[in-house]
Amino acid sequence: MHRIKGLAAVMLAAGTLSAQESWDTSFKLVVGRSNQSAVDGAGSPTQVGLSLEGAYPLPSNFGGLVFEAGYRKFLNATFNDPAIPNPPPPPASGSSTFRGTDLESTSQGWLASALWQRKMGPEGLYLEAGLRWTAFISRETWTPRTVTVTSTGTVTGTAQASRTGSFDHRGIGPVVGAGFRFDGITSLDLQLSRQAVPTADGSTRTLTVLELGLGTHF
């Protein structure tokens, strides 16, 4: 009986809260920068993406909850094997041959975040912190090359058939940020998160990603 009364009270409170407060929904465009290198085989340090967010205020002065679903992509990156110098130095006589394997890569995937958000300081300023789940797929292409240079400086090169592979990884990491709500439509936030991406050797690397997001609220 007490459980039924308690459940009824919770449902009534939730219904009252829903009637008084509404979701703040926004669409966000994101550009970010990470601490990875092209040699990792997971794309470039530059990340772009988009998110759909829903924020719901908590009772009293406890801030609010933010739920996010989004897509992120690390832009394409090319790593040229240092075994092939550019330009290759000509020998004193005859010819020299250099062999190496170049790597092209990109990484993309989905994310979901749950954050606690609270207004702080000047009107419009807010802080947030929470957890982010990510699911990335990295795609790599290896291309073996041979470059020959003669003593006269003539350079010739050949490339073999490329080999392509892909790796995927799912992980959870923290995210913190701060933002500013300019008006009822526009906001700008800066977030720092940890995101794990699969690399060309089949392992994973946990990256620190700094993102700048422009939100449009509706």
Give the C-alpha separation, 89 to 21, whole Å.
70
Task: Answer yes or no: is pLDDT of 7 > 90.
Answer: no
Per the CB < 8 A criterion, the answer to whether 74 and 47 are in contact is: yes
Amino acid 60: pLDDT: 79
Per the CB < 8 A criterion, the answer to whether 159 and 207 are in contact is: no
pLDDT-derived band at 22 (thresholds 50, 70, 90) equals confident
pTM above 0.75, yes or no: yes
3-state SS string for 82-137:
CCCCCCCCCCCCCEEEEEEEEEEEEEEEEEEEEEEEEECCCCCEEEEEEEEEEEEE
Amino acid 16: pLDDT: 40
Give the C-alpha separation, 96 to 89, whole Å.
8
Cα separations in angstroms, 195 against 76, 137, 140: 17, 12, 19
Residue type, 112: A
Non-local CB neighbours of 59 within 8 Å, separated by 6+ positions: 17
What confidence tens digit (pLDDT) does each residue in 28-70 have?
999 999 999 999 999 999 999 999 999 999 987 899 999 999 9
Average pLDDT, the chain: 90
**CATH topology assigned to domain 22-217:** Porin (2.40.160)
Task: Answer yes or no: is pLDDT of 120 > 70.
Answer: yes
Per-residue pLDDT, averaged over 136-154, amounts to: 96
Amino acid 21: pLDDT: 56
Non-local CB neighbours of 44 within 8 Å, separated by 6+ positions: 36, 38, 74, 75, 76, 77
Task: Answer yes or no: is pLDDT of 164 > 80.
Answer: yes
Q: What is the dihedral of CA 178, 181, 185, 186, to 10 degrees?
A: -60
Amino acid 148: pLDDT: 97
Per-residue pLDDT, averaged over 142-152, amounts to: 97
Domain boundaries, the chain: 22-217
Helix (H, G, I), strand (E, B) or coil at 14: helix
